[in-house]
């Protein structure tokens, strides 16, 4: 079939390069750890509740949570499991997660500072592996293979549905070339070509970056995605912002694709 001749892992890398996506340093995430705990890690958060409802814990007693942030998923499932490993490359995120775990009395959760590209060999394999809103990685095939290897039973990952965190209109306002990140279709096809027949569902969660109530907050959100702005870009953006209703600049919700599968033995992977 013609589709089998397409290298989706390479297409993913190319699209990531076209989007000029650069890996944010751990220090960037350190600065946002407290805010993410307040905005995106609340037990009643709609995204979290939908995700938890779709994770099958039957036969499971352990969890590996890659890109755990402030412990959003790890702590939400901690009371149902015997051991939990929350993994992130941001020490600030892990510090906030550890504090939240102490407040929750979750003494059986271990926090490990590690990046996607670093070895996980010293982290025990777990029944369930999760990567929630942390899958915009440099090498999709490698990342999915490592999650599959880390799990004994099942893997759950969530990916972008919309291809940009900043609308095309705003990118044009500042005079930037409109760029789109690779969405979930790439990951799904990468998995297919690996021999993993994954299932897809969708989650509509609250947009954690929808607070544009002040110019400074809006500018911070834009700089977080587009990087530093020149004086000219900043002036054009501020002029545009002053003509908008701040409550309608960003959509109230953000869609995510939940891609999950039963662990496939490595010998069966393509």
d(CA 242, CA 158) in angstroms, rounded, equals 35
C-alpha distance across the termini of the chain, in Å: 16
Question: Each residue of 111-170: pLDDT tens digit?
Answer: 999 999 999 999 999 999 999 999 999 999 999 999 999 999 999 999 999 877 778 788
For residues 175 and 105, the model is more confident at: 105
Query: How far is residue 211 CA from its own chain's centroid?
Result: 19
Percent of the chain with pLDDT over 90: 61
Across the range 1-21, mean pLDDT stands at 88
Q: Specify the pLDDT at position 226.
A: 79
Q: Are 151 and 64 in contact (CB under 8 A)?
A: yes
Q: What percent of the chain has pLDDT over 70?
A: 97
pLDDT at 108: 97
State both tokens at 199: 């299932």
Q: What's this model's pTM, rounded to 2 decimal places?
A: 0.88
Q: What is the mean pLDDT of the chain?
A: 91
For residue 16, give every residue at least 6 positions away whose Cβ sits within 8 Å of its Cβ, in sequence order, or none.
136, 138, 181, 182
Token pair recorded at residue 266? 């490595």
Q: What does the block give as tokens for 48? A: 């979290």
């Amino acid at each position: 079939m013609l589709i089998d001749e397409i290298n989706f892992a390479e297409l993913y890398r190319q699209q990531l390069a076209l989007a000029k996506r650069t890996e944010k340093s751990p220090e960037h995430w350190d600065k946002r750890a407290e805010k993410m705990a307040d905005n995106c890690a609340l037990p009643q958060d709609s995204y979290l509740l939908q995700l938890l409802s779709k994770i099958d814990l039957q036969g499971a007693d352990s969890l590996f949570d890659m890109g755990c942030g402030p412990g959003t998923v790890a702590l939400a499932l901690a009371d149902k499991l015997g051991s939990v490993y929350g993994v992130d490359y941001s020490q600030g995120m892990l510090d906030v997660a550890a504090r939240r775990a102490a407040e929750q009395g979750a003494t059986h959760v271990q926090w490990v500072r590690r990046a996607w590209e670093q070895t996980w060999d010293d982290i025990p394999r777990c029944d369930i592996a999760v990567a929630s809103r942390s899958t915009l990685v440099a090498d999709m095939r490698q990342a999915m293979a490592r999650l599959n290897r880390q799990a004994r039973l099942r893997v759950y990952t969530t990916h972008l549905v919309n291809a940009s965190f900043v609308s095309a209109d705003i990118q044009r306002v500042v005079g930037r070339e409109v760029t789109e990140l690779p969405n979930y279709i790439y990951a799904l096809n990468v998995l297919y070509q690996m021999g993993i027949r994954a299932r897809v569902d969708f989650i509509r969660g609250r947009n954690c970056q929808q607070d544009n109530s002040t110019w400074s907050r809006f500018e911070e959100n834009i700089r977080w995605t587009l990087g530093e702005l020149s004086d000219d870009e900043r002036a054009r953006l501020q002029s545009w912002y002053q003509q908008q209703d701040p409550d309608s600049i960003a959509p109230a919700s953000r869609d995510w694709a939940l891609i999950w599968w039963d662990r496939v033995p490595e010998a069966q992977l393509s």
